[in-house]
Structure 1
Amino acid sequence: MSLAPRVVIVHRTTEYEELVAHHGTHGQAAFFLSSRGRDIEEVAERHRRTRRALADVTSAIPLTWRQSRVERADLDRFLFAPEDVVVVVGQDGLVANVAKYLDGQPVVGIDSDPGRNPGVLVRHRPASAGKLLRAAFASGTGADELTMVEAVADDTQRLLALNEVYLGAAGHQTARYRLGLDTGDARDTDGGSANGGGVVETQASSGVLVGTGTGATGWIRSVWEGRGCPLPLPRPTEDRLVWFVREAWPSPATGTSQVAGQLSATSRLTLTAESERLIVFGDGMEGDALELTWGQTVRVGVCGRRLRLLG
């Protein structure tokens, strides 16, 4: 006898809940905000909208199906099953947070606060949850296969991300490392070959970003626009990544000739630590990071795994 389908609802603690947990009561939280010229009702109303969205999604799950809930902070301790359907209720960034823990499970993004979220990844309203769940268990049709990025260290540490990975020093201070391009398919900012045999440059910077087409709507895009880079950003489903070195510092020992480029599906950006401690984290989750020390190397490129997001 096969198990009933399981729906896993992913959510995060609201700002209101965080305020009340910190200050003890609603009244004390309200006093704290009012002393700074803010009204707690704005935060409380967003909390109520999120709770209504969670209730609507829960009520749309058939009674014969199983269901679980997991909070964002507990994702690294939650075991997703291959047959799960994952429903993310919240902001776009919450879909990125859960992506690294999945392996082919379909994901439904539910916007808990329409008009406030861009809706790039949380594309649906709570009222559509029932129809989307049935479609997800049918054949998986209508799902976008979004490209992910992976970082693999020479000691087998591995990290996945949907938007981007950051490589640099903890605290975003000066990182020292050797940066190289691996395989003959890497390209520089002018679209020419980056000499896949291995251009290597010693650098000092505030870190390196490597991002996907999904990440091209966030942190990667802000760097791209601020730099006025002619390099085209990838599409979310395209097997191509872009990378940028942040604030590279020129000196007699460090260079700035390799500060941006793109990677095909077979290309890798390599970074060898020349600092006591460098970190690699994905999608803004610095608490879940790889750590590198002197001489360790990490390779970053297109991940073979995809995020299946229902359109």
Structure 2
Amino acid sequence: MSLAPRAVLVHRTTEYEELLARHGTAGQAAFFLTSRGRDLEPVAARHARARRTLAAVEAAVPLHWRRARVERADLDRFLFGPEDVVVVVGADGLVANTAKYLTGQPVVGVDPEPGRGLGVLVRHRPADTARLLTAAVRPDAAFDELTMVEAVADDTQRIRALNEIYLGAPGHQTARYRLATATRPDPAAPEESQASSGVLVGTGTGATGWLRSLWRERSGPPALPAPTDPRLLWFVREAWPSPTTNTTLVQGALTNGDHLRLVVESDRLVAFGDGVETDALELTWGQTIRVGLADLRLRLLV
């Protein structure tokens, strides 16, 4: 007998809850904000709206389904199952935060505050949850298969991301490394030593954010990919020349089978995805890390 689907509701702590955790009481939080020319009332109103939305989404889960809740900070400790339907209730960034922990489970993005954000990944309204959950487990369900990027170190450390992966020094200081060009495995591929502010490798989903800002600064960069395109772009940030470092290999594209290879020449570099520096790979002198297309994609319900 197969298990009933499980709806996993992913949410994040609200600004109001963070203020209470820091200041202890609503009165203390209000005093803190007032002293800085701000008002607690709109923050509390958004908190109440977010909690009403979460309750409404949970109430829409079919009665015979199992259910679970997970807060963003606990995602790295939560075990997703193959029969899960993941319902992300929050901003677009919360979908990206969740994607790296999934292995093909369908994702439904629900926007608790339509119009406040772009709504690129959280496309649906809370009132549609019941219909969306039923649709998500149908054999003919329609999904956007969003490309992801993956970094794999020589000690088997691995990280995936929906938007981009950053490789560089902690604190965005000078990173030193040897970079091989983004080509299929080839011992004769060009390689150079670099000193820079790090390397960014991004997807079409990330092309609306950090990746796009770098793309706009460049002269003649490759065309930006669409979210479902099997193609990545990479950029070296603020590379500078010296007697031992060069600036020739600073941008390019990666397709199926391509990779970017980086050999660490600093005491410590990190690689993290989608801006989450607290969940980073730690790399030391002499280690090698390869970045390319991930085998898995994010299955986002249309």
Aligned-partner residue type, residue 116 of structure 1? R
Match of 1:87 in 2: 87
Shift of 1:199: 1.1
Match of 1:150 in 2: 150
Aligned-partner residue type, residue 52 of structure 2? R
Match of 2:207 in 1: 216
Q: Are 1:280 and 1:291, in contact at CA under 8 Å, matched by a contact in 2?
A: yes
Match of 1:234 in 2: 225
Q: TM-score, normalised by structure 1?
A: 0.94
Residue of 264, 267, 275 corresponding to 2:258: 267
Shift of 1:140: 5.4
Distance 1:283 1:239, change over 3 A: same
Q: Which digits, 9 at most, give the CA deviation of each residue in 1:270-311, with x for residues without a partner?
A: 111000000000011111111111110000000110110001
1:245 aligns with 2:245: no
1:14 aligns with 2:14: yes
Residue of 268, 274, 284 corresponding to 1:277: 268
Match of 2:132 in 1: 132
Q: Which digits, 9 at most, give the CA deviation of each residue in 1:230-277, with x for residues without a partner?
A: 321001111100001111111111111111111111110011100000
Match of 2:73 in 1: 73
Partner-residue secondary structure (3-state), 1:50: helix
Unpaired runs of 5+ residues, structure 1, are 186-194
Q: CA RMSD in A?
A: 1.4
Aligned-partner residue type, residue 207 of structure 2? A
Aligned-partner residue type, residue 155 of structure 1? D
Q: Which digits, 9 at most, give the CA deviation of each residue in 1:71-121, with x for residues without a partner?
A: 000001000000100000001011011111111100000011111111111
Shift of 1:196: 8.2
1:164 aligns with 2:164: yes
Distance 1:2 1:107, change over 3 A: same
Partner-residue secondary structure (3-state), 1:19: helix
Distance 1:227 1:70, change over 3 A: same
Kindly report structure 1 stretches of 4+ aligned residues shifted beyond 4 Å: none
Distance 1:229 1:22, change over 3 A: farther
Match of 1:303 in 2: 294
Q: Distance in 1 between matches of 2:83 and 2:214?
A: 38
Q: Are 1:163 and 1:214, in contact at CA under 8 Å, matched by a contact in 2?
A: yes
Aligned-partner residue type, residue 249 of structure 1? W
Partner-residue secondary structure (3-state), 1:21: helix
Aligned-partner residue type, residue 220 of structure 1? L
Q: Are 2:181 and 2:249, in contact at CA under 8 Å, matched by a contact in 1?
A: no
Q: Which digits, 9 at most, give the CA deviation of each residue in 1:204-229, with x for residues without a partner?
A: 01110000000101111111123354
Distance 1:208 1:140, change over 3 A: farther
Q: TM-score, normalised by structure 2?
A: 0.97
Q: Distance in 2 between matches of 1:182 and 1:216?
A: 19
Percent sequence identity over aligned pairs: 69
Matched residue count: 302
Match of 1:119 in 2: 119
1:201 aligns with 2:201: no
Q: Distance in 2 between matches of 1:26 and 1:171?
A: 34
Distance 1:297 1:222, change over 3 A: same
